[in-house]
C-alpha cells in the first residue's frame, strides 16, 4: 500500500476516505517544522499540505514522492522549479472557494469602510455614552468605485457583487480579461496607477509571486485617496505591512481590512496599534461547506495522481501537468 503524509489537521472523514487507498501518516498538531516535514516525507509516495513550504531539499530527501496536493488555491509555498526538475506533481484546489472568499472580501471591505471593528472595540470599552452626529463617520459602498487588482475567478466574483451596490468597477490585471467578461461585469480595465488614483475601495485578489511582492507599498499608498480603503484577501507579502501601518497612522488612507500578512501567522505588531484596520486570521474561505470542499478536492487530487480511484491518473487540478507520467528524477 502506498504511503502518504497529511501534514495538517483536516476533517476526520476525509482521512477515512484516504485510508481506503493509502497508509496514512496524519499529523494533527501544530505546523510541522521544515526539518520534521522533510523527515516525514522521506518514505512517502504523496502528501497533502495546506500552505506548508515544500522545496528542493524536501523533494531530494523523498525519492518516492510523486505528488504534493495543496489544500489551497495559491501554491507559492511550492518551489515549482524544484517540482518540475524532480518530476513531482503539484496540485491545488481552485474554484470551490471563489464565492465564499468573495463574500468575505466584501464583508472585510465593508467593515473597514464603515469602521465596524473600531466602533465595536470602543463600545466594548464602555465609552459609548451618547449618540453624536459625527460618531465613527465612514465611507459609502453604494455608488462608489471598486478597484480590483487581480481579476481572476475571485476578482470576478467580487465584481459581480458590485452590481447590487451600483458601483463602478475598475480593475487591473496582468492581462485584460475577455471583452465578454468585461461587459458582463461592467468592468473597465485600468493601469495600476489609474486604479489607485480613482478607486474608493481597493481589493487585492492576485497571486503571490516574486514580481507581485509589495505590489502595494509606500509609493502606491500615496497615490490612493485619503478617503479610500484597502482590503487584502490575497496573500501576505503583496502589501508592505510596515508601509501600510504608516499610511493608516497618518490617515494617508482611511482604513484597511487584512486577512493575510507578511510572515503569517506572525504579523507586524504595529498593526495592533492602529485603530483603522480590521484584522482577521486568514479565514476568507472559512465556511464549513467550503473547507470541506477544499479538503475533498485535495484528497481527489492526491488519490487520482497516485493512480487510485475513479479518476486514476487524471487529477482534477494539476499545477504542472507536464510531469504527469514521467519517472521521478
Where does residue 93 rank: exposed (0-12), middle (13-18), buried (19+ CB within 10 A)?
buried
Is residue 111 domain-resident?
yes
Residue 176 has pLDDT above 90, yes or no: yes
What is the average pLDDT score of the chain? 97
Q: Domain count of the chain?
A: 2
Whether residue 66 is found in the same domain as residue 132: no
Enter the C-alpha cell of residue 9. 489537521
DSSP code at position 66: -
Residue 13 has pLDDT above 90, yes or no: yes
Enter the C-alpha cell of residue 63. 525519492
Looking at residue 17, its pLDDT comes to: 97
The string of pLDDT tens digits covering residues 113-163 is: 999 999 999 999 999 999 999 999 999 999 999 999 999 999 999 999 999
d(CA 137, CA 127): 16
d(CA 208, CA 234): 8
The string of pLDDT tens digits covering residues 242-264 is: 999 999 999 999 999 999 999 99
Whether residue 142 is found in the same domain as residue 216: yes
Residue 53 has pLDDT above 90, yes or no: yes
**Positions marked active-site:** 235, 264, 282
Looking at residue 141, its pLDDT comes to: 98
Domain extent at residue 125: 98-279
Whether residue 66 is found in the same domain as residue 138: no
274-284 b/e with 16+ CB inside 10 Å = b? bebbbebebeb
Q: What is the pTM of this model?
A: 0.93
Neighbours of 12 (CB within 10 A): 10
Q: Which CATH number goes with the domain that contains 89? A: 3.40.50.720
3-state secondary structure (DSSP) of residue 284:
coil
Whether residue 124 is found in the same domain as residue 244: yes
Whether residue 273 is found in the same domain as residue 296: no
Averaged pLDDT for residues 67-73: 97
Looking at residue 128, its pLDDT comes to: 97
Q: Which helix (H) or strand (E) holds 146?
A: strand 145-149
Is residue 329 domain-resident?
no
Whether residue 243 is found in the same domain as residue 180: yes
The string of pLDDT tens digits covering residues 182-229 is: 999 999 999 999 999 999 999 999 999 999 999 999 999 999 999 999
d(CA 12, CA 117): 34
Enter the C-alpha cell of residue 307. 493512480
d(CA 80, CA 55): 8
How would residue 15 be classed by pLDDT, with cut points 50, 70 and 90?
very high
Enter the C-alpha cell of residue 125. 470599552
The string of pLDDT tens digits covering residues 83-124 is: 999 999 999 999 999 999 999 999 999 999 999 999 999 999
Strands of the 3-6 sheet, one edge to the other = 23-26, 3-6, 46-49, 67-70, 89-91
Long-range contacts of 10-18 (CB under 8 A, 24+ apart): 10/48, 10/50, 10/71, 10/295, 11/291, 11/292, 11/295, 14/292, 14/295, 14/296, 14/299, 17/296, 17/299, 17/303, 18/48, 18/299, 18/302, 18/303
Beta-strand ranges (E) seen in 276-323 are 277-279
Residue 329 has pLDDT above 90, yes or no: no
Whether residue 117 is found in the same domain as residue 85: no
Cβ proximity of 235 and 76 under 8 Å: yes
Whether residue 63 is found in the same domain as residue 148: no
Whether residue 139 is found in the same domain as residue 41: no
Amino acid at each position: 500500500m502506498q504511503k502518504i503524509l497529511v501534514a495538517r489537521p483536516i476533517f476526520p472523514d476525509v482521512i477515512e476516505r484516504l485510508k481506503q487507498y493509502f497508509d496514512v501518516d496524519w499529523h494533527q498538531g501544530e505546523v510541522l517544522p521544515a526539518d520534521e516535514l522533510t523527515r516525514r516525507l522521506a518514505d512517502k509516495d504523496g502528501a497533502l499540505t495546506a500552505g506548508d513550504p515544500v522545496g528542493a531539499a524536501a523533494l531530494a530527501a523523498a525519492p518516492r514522492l510523486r505528488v504534493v496536493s495543496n489544500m489551497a488555491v495559491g501554491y507559492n509555498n511550492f518551489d515549482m522549479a524544484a517540482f518540475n526538475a524532480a518530476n513531482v506533481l503539484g496540485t491545488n484546489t481552485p474554484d470551490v472557494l471563489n464565492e465564499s472568499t468573495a463574500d468575505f472580501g466584501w464583508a472585510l471591505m465593508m467593515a473597514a469602510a464603515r469602521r465596524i471593528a473600531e466602533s465595536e472595540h470602543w463600545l466594548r470599552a464602555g465609552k459609548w455614552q451618547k449618540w453624536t452626529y459625527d460618531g465613527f463617520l465612514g465611507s459609502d459602498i453604494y455608488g462608489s468605485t471598486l478597484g480590483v487588482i487581480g481579476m481572476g475567478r475571485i476578482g470576478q466574483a467580487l465584481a459581480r457583487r458590485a452590481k447590487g451596490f451600483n458601483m463602478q468597477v475598475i480593475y487591473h490585471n496582468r492581462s485584460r480579461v475577455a471583452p465578454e467578461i468585461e461587459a458582463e461585469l461592467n468592468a473597465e480595465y485600468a493601469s495600476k496607477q489609474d486604479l489607485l488614483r480613482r478607486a474608493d475601495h481597493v481589493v487585492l485578489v492576485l497571486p503571490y509571486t516574486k514580481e507581485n511582492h509589495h505590489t502595494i507599498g509606500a509609493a502606491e499608498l500615496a497615490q490612493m485617496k485619503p478617503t479610500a480603503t484597502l482590503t487584502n484577501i490575497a496573500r501576505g507579502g503583496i502589501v508592505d505591512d510596515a508601509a501600510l501601518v504608516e499610511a493608516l497612522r497618518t490617515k494617508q488612507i482611511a482604513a484597511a481590512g487584512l486577512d493575510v500578512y507578511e510572515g503569517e501567522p506572525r504579523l507586524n505588531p504595529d498593526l495592533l496599534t492602529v485603530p483603522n484596520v480590521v484584522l482577521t486570521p486568514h479565514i476568507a474561505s472559512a465556511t464549513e461547506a467550503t473547507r470541506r470542499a477544499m479538503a475533498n478536492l485535495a484528497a481527489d487530487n492526491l488519490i487520482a495522481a497516485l493512480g487510485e480511484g475513479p479518476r486514476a491518473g487524471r487529477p482534477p487540478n494539476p499545477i504542472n501537468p507536464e510531469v504527469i507520467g514521467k519517472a521521478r528524477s
